[in-house]
A and B are shown apart, each in its own frame.
Chain A
Amino acid sequence: MKSTTLSYRIFPLGDAAVTVDFGNIIDKSINQQVLHLFNSLQNDPLPGMKEVVPAYSSLAVYYNAIDVRKKHNGSMTAFDSMSAQIKERLDQSLTDIETVSKLVSIPVCYEKELAPDIEYLANAKSISVDELIRMHTSKEYRVYMLGFLPGFSYMGEVDEKIAIARKPQPITVASGSVGIAGRQTGIYPMTCPGGWQIIGRTPVQLFDPGKDEPTLLKAGDRVQFISISKDEFENY
């Protein structure tokens, strides 16, 4: 990993968390910086840290303000203390951590009855359904972050030719539904209201509370969708 000068801003997220912001854009290399800091803090937590939460281009460090203040006998705010320690971490170690990213193949059935919005999307973008499926399965996607629901992964970026706005109102979406919103694609790990345009469904379980690692995907993973038939879906 080459050494680069990082550009970032640190600001409070209330009085119990700090945000580190690497730039308000969706970008692979910026997300990589977020995950480097995330991994560094997961492996070697700062004193008083409660947890660290990565997003697209920013990350939050939650802390116990009372514990952090105690260290300084109240002479410094917990926010200032955490900010200084995070800056220090960013200065020293972010160049030598290699993130391991796994490639996960996810079978998806794009048949109409499991893909309520696939014809709408194809029509809106003036392409055939087959072409849409080909485009969605033609590349690897990066898992930028998890959020919204346990195990819900925000992946990108889909080809501009199949990018589409989300629905004006969320409607009930079945568990395993694969959707598109803008240039993002994602999978609903459970049945719930959702606004993404649904183009297929996977038989794979994205979230299992009984497992030590309850989600199939993690930020930084790569995903390849593979088209399967209705028959394969049902007998998966």
Chain B
Amino acid sequence: MDTVQDLGRYGWQHLGINPGGAMDKLSAQIANILVGNDPGEAVIELHFPSSTFFFEQASLIAVSGADFSATINGEEVPCMRPILVNKYSILQFHRIEKGARAYLAVHGGLDVPLWLNSSSTHLKAETGGYKGRVLQKDDEIGFKRPVDLCSLLGKKEFEVLPWKTDSNWGDDNHAKEILVLPGHEWERLTGHSKEIFFDRAFLITNQSDRMGYRLKSEPLSTFTNEEVVSSPVSFGTVQLLPNGQLIVLMADHQTAGGYPRVAHVISAHHSRLAQMKPGDLFIFRFTDQQTAEELLTKQHQHLLQLQNACKFKLDELLNACN
């Protein structure tokens, strides 16, 4: 399931229109930065098995997030690196090495219309992104600002550019620990259920998608069955379902919900969670507001540094072809 996504459509949840956007917004921003785009440009979010792309013109691309073992014209290419691709090249993905979602950015951005100021695909509303739907065979997506890069490549089919980002900076994607803040109904959990929450690993089940991850563990229970009147929920909200299992809300979550909110995954760990897939196990650990905000700030600073470094090198490169 491959869709066009950006950083989300904010400002419309009061009309029931959820923000959506990339599941792993950190990786989406990195892909854009590597090719000199604004971090919020539209990218293609790929799930394995993913589409194969044929480039009708030369482009500068980057693939971030999951490692799906990419090749160009059959030759392996790395993730997290800007790559000059000549026209008539084919980008393919072969297997899941690591992670769950990869992001493909092209220099200048994708030529897709904005709906309510965002290019994210809203599958339920069948609008936004590329024709409001999942990408299909033979779809053609234009480049917003095509740049003639042919002179840089000459007869070469592609070239991996020398600058890169450490794929694990600020966050170890292999770590299976997810930091959370307590939710408003946390205190409703029984003592035993709280122990389970912290002591046991939670399994991401097959019933997991862009809307949310359903988890499996020993069932949790609450002191009270007092109803929660439908109240706003967010990306990362961990809700307790009536069957005692937890669900973590992800990018395409509803705007409001009536299940007890036991915890919230901190923003800095959304990326880590978005790169987990059904069958993966992880553990929850509490943190505080201050730490959560500091971790997010650290991620943001790293993005800024990367942006400055890439911009300098890209300007040099692109000046050479004008």
Chain A positions within 8 Å of B, measured between CB atoms, are 11-17, 19, 21, 24-26, 38, 50-60, 62, 65-66, 69, 74, 77-80, 145-154, 190, 192, 207, 209, 214-215, 218-219
Contacts and interface: CB of A to CB of B under 8 A. Distances in A.
B137 interface: no
B320 interface: no
A12 B297 contact: no
B91 interface: no
Contacts, number: 147
A65 B267 contact: yes
Q: Point out which of B232, B234, B254, B265 has the most chain A C-beta atoms below 10 A from its C-beta.
A: B232
A52 to B, nearest CB: 7
Contacts of B226: 24
A66 B234 contact: no
B264 interface: yes
B125 A150 contact: yes
Contacts of B175: none
Across chains A and B, which 8 residue pairs bring their CB atoms closest together, nearest first? A14-B264, A60-B232, A146-B16, A147-B256, A15-B292, A209-B127, A53-B13, A150-B17
A150 B122 contact: yes
B289 interface: yes
Interface string B91-133: 0000000000000000000000001100000101111100010
20 contacts: A12-B289, A13-B184, A14-B237, A14-B265, A15-B289, A16-B234, A19-B184, A19-B231, A38-B14, A50-B11, A55-B231, A58-B232, A62-B234, A145-B256, A146-B255, A148-B254, A207-B125, A209-B127, A214-B116, A218-B14
A51 B267 contact: no
Contact of A57 (B124, B132, B184, B229): B229
Given A14-B236, A14-B237, A15-B264, A51 B293 contact: no
A150 B289 contact: no
A15 B289 CA distance: 6
A58 B300 CA distance: 30
Contacts of B264: 12-15
B51 to A, nearest CB: 25
B13 A151 contact: no
B184 A65 contact: no
B266 A14 contact: yes
B229 A26 contact: yes
Contact of A149 (B124, B230, B267, B296): B124
B230 A190 contact: no
A150 B116 CA distance: 13
Interface size class of B (residues with CB under 8 A): 35 or more
B35 to A, nearest CB: 23
A76 to B, nearest CB: 10
A50 B10 contact: yes
Interface string B237-277: 10000000000000000111000010011110000000000
Contacts of B116: 214
B289 A11 contact: no
B232 A15 contact: no
B290 interface: yes
A209 B290 CA distance: 39
B293 A69 contact: yes
A190 B254 CA distance: 15
Q: Point out which of A14, A21, A66, A154 has the most chain B C-beta atoms below 10 A from its C-beta.
A: A14
Contacts of B254: 147-149
Contacts of B266: 14-15
Contact of B11 (A21, A51, A219): A51
B125 A15 contact: no
Interface in B3-25: 10-17
Contacts of B126: 190, 209
A44 B5 CA distance: 29
Interface in B178-235: 181, 184, 226-235
A19 B228 CA distance: 14
A25 B255 contact: no
A15 B293 contact: yes
A59 B232 contact: yes
A15 B231 CA distance: 17
Contact of B15 (A11, A19, A66, A214): A214
Contacts of B14: 38, 51-54, 146, 218-219
Contact of B124 (A74, A150, A214): A150
B267 A62 contact: no
Given A50-B10, A66-B300, A147-B256, A16 B229 contact: no
Contacts of A50: 10-11
A57 B228 CA distance: 10
A15 B124 contact: no
A56 B231 contact: yes
Nearest to A153: B16
B228 A51 contact: no
B16 A151 contact: yes
